[in-house]
Structure 1
Amino acid sequence: MNTMSWYPVFLREMLLFRRKLFRVGYLFSAMVVPMIYLVTFGLGLGRNIDVGGMSYVAYLLPGLVAMSSMNNSYSWVSSALTLNRHYFKTFQVFVLAPVSPSAIMLGEVFAGMVKGLFASLLIICTGFLFTGMFVTTLFFLVALLLNCFLFASLGVITGMLAKSHEDTSTYNNFFILPMAFFCGTFIPVDRLPAMLGTVVAMLPLTHTNILIRKTALDNEGVVSLSVLVCYAVVFFSIGSRLIRKYSE
């Protein structure tokens, strides 16, 4: 197999993305929700709150990056793949082309990662404009890349399983939306009720939020890194298998 056979799939998505990139409406829609959270929670309610010895804004900003990278990496892939399968019928062209399922998976995942990283960059710039501070570390970058990869892979799984475009909203409401609020984006997980905290501790965004805030790799960081890698491998494997067995 050609090692670059994933590139045409990736390039197609990037050409479509470029058409939307400089539209004011797209840029505004990508920034408006995190900006609302930043102003309401960070600069409003959290003005006089400290979390673990840091200001609430400093705690919130990495969480917003993690949340935005999750939302955009996942939603772009899941929505596009569902539409391409059921309405535009372009996904069938990929399947019939001499391109392996893993190459299709890589192209879609890499495209989702770019969109997730772009949304994250907007949040970083917005945070810097609002607060004049934003510190990135090696662990921040590793967590961000893994987060984009695993949620883009999850987006492929959703896109392959969804029976209609409306199904993607159902999956989003059950899986993505709860993670955005309960997995350490806005408050530390240890402040949740014990039963809910146990469930949340198993979810991938929780470990992204842990790793993305680390300045040194301690035992907790090693566990979170390992969990994220495992999720990435499992989601990528399941997505590739669904593409391999696809028949419509």
Structure 2
Amino acid sequence: MTGWYPVFIKEMLQFKRKLLRLGYIFSAMMAPIIYLITFGLGLGRTVKLSEGTDYLTFLLPGLVAMSSMNNSYSWVASSLNLSRLYFKTFQVYIQSPIKPFSIMIGEVLAGMVKGVFASLLIIAVGFVVPSKFSINLIFVLTLLLNCFMFACLGVITGMITKSHEDTATYSNFFIMPMAFFSGTFFSVERIPMIFKPVIYIMPLTHTNILIRKTFIDMDGAVSLCVIIFYCVIFFVIGSNLMKKYSE
């Protein structure tokens, strides 16, 4: 079980080098800040929500969910893809006396740290702008589960892609649609009924539902179960891909 630690430390050392560059921090905040200004401070003033919540307060948890998804997923997917196909460092992991299960844990934990860090930047902004944004235990739990879930999905993508360009292709087909149609910028209740079955299959939809809850009701309990289900499925698939790796 301790085999995950060297993998995690290696990823964290790379992350630390990036943190020392101010440009990296600004780039991590750029897209969410643009969305916040455009939708929250601009268009949001004309948006009225049926729940009685101002739009900026509604938007901020969605931006946290989206940012944690993007960063947890992209960090792991890109790192694994590059280490497998270009730097050939992943093969060192496989040949070392570290079990695939431990490699999986190390990569996922590293992705979670990246996702939580990016989310903290948005949370900090959320407490500065004029809104009723707040966090609670459900918010924190949902954030951690979301980071875990998409870090596991990043492992799957990083293991099955055949080139670095394939990583962007998977992001365009799966991550980007979730960012815009899973309740980040508007309530999924406003989506036409014909599209709702597809929307509710997307894991980020349930993150956006749960992260805005102040207590666990029936909808929140269902979303929590769905998120845990995806976490288990993605983790098992990613672990099996590492176990069967023979490249």
* TM-score interval, smaller chain: over 0.9
Stretch deviating more after TM superposition (135-144 or 152-161): 135-144
State the match for 2:19 in structure 1.
Answer: 21
Aligned to 2:92: 93
Question: Post-superposition shift, 1:192?
Answer: 1.0
Relative to the length of structure 2, the TM-score reads 0.98
Alignment of 1:32-181 (within 5 A): 32-51=30-49, 52-131=51-130, 133-181=132-180
Deviations 1:7-64 (A, max 9, x none): 1000000000000012111001100100000000000001132321100000000000
- CA deviations 1:110-163 (Å, max 9, x no partner) are 000000000000001112222265300111011101100010000000000000
Q: Residue 46 of structure 1: SS of its match in structure 2?
A: helix
Secondary structure in 1 matching 2:175: helix
d(CA) in 1 for partners of 2:132 and 2:76?
31
Q: Which moved more, 1:123-132 or 1:37-46?
A: 123-132
What is the alpha-carbon distance in structure 2 between the residues aligned to residue 197 and residue 23 of structure 1? 42
**What is the CA distance between 1:193 and its match in structure 2?**
1.6
Single out whichever of 45-54 and 143-152 deviates more from structure 2: 45-54
SS in 2 for 1:88: coil
Q: Residue 50 of structure 1 aligns to a residue in which SS?
A: coil
- Which residue of 2 is the match for residue 235 of structure 1? 234
The reply on whether 1:31 has 2:34 as its aligned counterpart is no
- Take 2:132 and 2:181, find their aligned partners in 1: how far apart are those partners? 25
Match of 1:188 in 2: 187
* Alignment-mate amino acid for residue 24 of structure 2: Y
Which structure 1 segments of 5+ residues have no match?
none
The amino acid of 1:188's aligned partner reads: S
- 3-state SS, counterpart of residue 17 of structure 2: helix
Which amino acid in the other structure matches residue 218 of structure 1?
Answer: D
Cα deviations by residue, 1:64-106 (Å, 9 ceiling, x for unpaired): 0000000000001000100000000000000011111110000
Q: Distance in 1 between matches of 2:80 and 2:123?
A: 28
Deviation for aligned residue 1:190: 1.2
State whether residues 178 and 204 of structure 2, in contact with CA within 8 Å, keep that contact through their aligned partners in structure 1.
Answer: yes
The residue that corresponds to 1:246 in the other structure is 245
- Paired AA for residue 73 in structure 1: S
SS in 1 for 2:98: coil
Q: Which runs of 4+ in 1 moved over 4 A?
A: none
8 Å contact from structure 2 (residues 57, 131) kept in 1: no
SS in 1 for 2:58: helix
Q: What is the rounded CA distance, in whole Å, between the counterparts of 2:158 and 2:215 in structure 1? A: 37
> Aligned residues, how many?
246
Cα distance in 2 for partners of 1:24, 1:81 equals 25
CA 132–223 in structure 1, closer or farther in 2 if over 3 Å, else same = closer
Note the alpha carbon deviations across 1:196-246, whole angstroms, 9 max, x for none: 222001111000001000001111111000000000000000000000000
In angstroms, what is the RMSD of aligned CA positions? 0.9
Read off the aligned partner of 1:25 and give its amino acid letter.
Answer: G
Deviation for aligned residue 1:194: 1.4
Specify every segment of 5 or more residues in structure 2 that has no aligned partner in the other structure, as ranges. none
Residues in 1 aligned to 2:161 and 2:27: alpha-carbon distance in whole angstroms: 24
